[in-house]
Amino acid sequence: MKYPWIEEYLMEKTGVTKDLQAEWNWIRFQIGGKMFAAICLDDSDQPYYITLKLEPLEGDFLRRQYEDIIPGYYMNKQHWNSVKADGEVPDDVLKDMLDKAYRLVLGSFSKKKQKEILGDE
Residue 43: exposure state from Cβ atoms within 10 A (0-12, 13-18, ≥19) = exposed
Q: Which of 101, 115, 105, 104 is nearest to 6 (CA)?
A: 101
Domains by residue range for the chain, with CATH: 6-118 (3.90.1150.30)
Instruction: Name the pLDDT band for 121 (thresholds 50, 70, 90).
Output: low
Cα-Cα-Cα-Cα dihedral sign, residues 45, 29, 87, 74 = positive
Cα-Cα-Cα-Cα dihedral sign, residues 50, 92, 18, 80 = negative
Per residue in 22-50, pLDDT (tens digit) is 999 999 999 999 999 999 999 999 999 99
What pTM was computed for the model?
0.94
Quick one: average pLDDT of 90-114?
A: 97
Between CA 25 and CA 99 the distance in angstroms is 23
Instruction: Name the pLDDT band for 51 (thresholds 50, 70, 90).
Output: very high
* Cβ neighbours of 95 (radius 10 Å): 15
pLDDT score at 73: 84
Percent of the chain scored above 70 by pLDDT?
99
> Do 60 and 54 touch, CB atoms closer than 8 A?
no
Task: Give helix 111-118 / helix 91-107 axis angle, nearest 10°.
Answer: 130
Q: Which of 49, 15, 47 is nearest to 34 (CA)?
A: 15
